[in-house]
C-alpha cells in the first residue's frame, strides 16, 4: 500500500474559492515537503515542514503539519488560474536519503 496518501486526487474550483489538499502518512514524518508541478515539467519546491504543529505560509498558500506528524494539509486562499497544476507531497520517513511521494492532486481553477 502507498505510504503517502493524497486527497483529493483531483480538484476543480472556481477562481476566488479556497481549497485544501491533504497528505496522510502511514509512518511518522521526519519532514514533509510540498511541491507543485506543471504538466510534464519538473517540480517546484513550495514549502518544508519539520516540526509537529508547524505552519508556514507563502503568498496565498499555507501548509501545516499536525502535532502527531503523520498528516499535512495545504490550503490555498482565493485561488487563481496560476495555482493550477499538480501538487505533490514528499516525505522523509527515515528510509534513508529518499523522499517518498504521494501520487499528487491535480488542481484546475476555472474562471
Using CB under 8 A as the binding rule, whether residue 48 contacts other proteins is answered as: yes
> Is 100 strand, coil or helix?
strand
Using CB under 8 A as the binding rule, whether residue 108 contacts other proteins is answered as: no
Using CB under 8 A as the binding rule, whether residue 106 contacts other proteins is answered as: no
Closest approach of other proteins to the CB of residue 109, in Å: 22
DSSP secondary structure code for residue 98 in this structure: -
Counting residues that bind other proteins (by CB under 8 A) gives: 23
Using CB under 8 A as the binding rule, whether residue 7 contacts other proteins is answered as: no
Q: What angle do CA 73, 37, 3 make, to 5 degrees?
A: 50
From the number of C-beta atoms within 10 Å of its C-beta (0-12, 13-18, 19+), residue 29 rates as: buried
User: Site residues (CB under 8 A) for other proteins?
Assistant: 31, 33, 35, 40-45, 48, 88, 90, 92, 95-104
Amino acid at each position: 500500500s502507498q505510504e503517502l496518501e493524497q486527497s483529493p486526487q483531483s480538484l476543480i474550483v472556481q477562481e476566488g474559492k479556497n481549497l485544501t489538499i491533504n497528505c496522510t502518512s502511514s509512518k511518522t514524518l521526519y519532514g514533509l515537503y510540498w511541491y507543485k508541478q506543471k504538466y510534464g515539467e519538473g517540480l517546484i519546491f513550495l514549502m518544508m515542514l519539520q516540526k509537529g504543529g508547524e505552519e508556514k505560509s507563502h503568498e496565498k498558500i499555507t501548509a501545516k503539519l499536525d502535532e502527531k506528524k503523520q498528516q499535512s494539509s495545504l490550503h490555498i486562499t482565493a485561488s487563481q488560474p496560476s495555482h493550477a497544476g499538480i501538487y505533490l507531497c514528499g516525505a522523509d520517513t527515515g528510509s534513508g536519503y529518499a523522499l517518498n511521494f504521494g501520487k499528487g492532486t491535480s488542481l484546475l481553477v476555472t474562471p
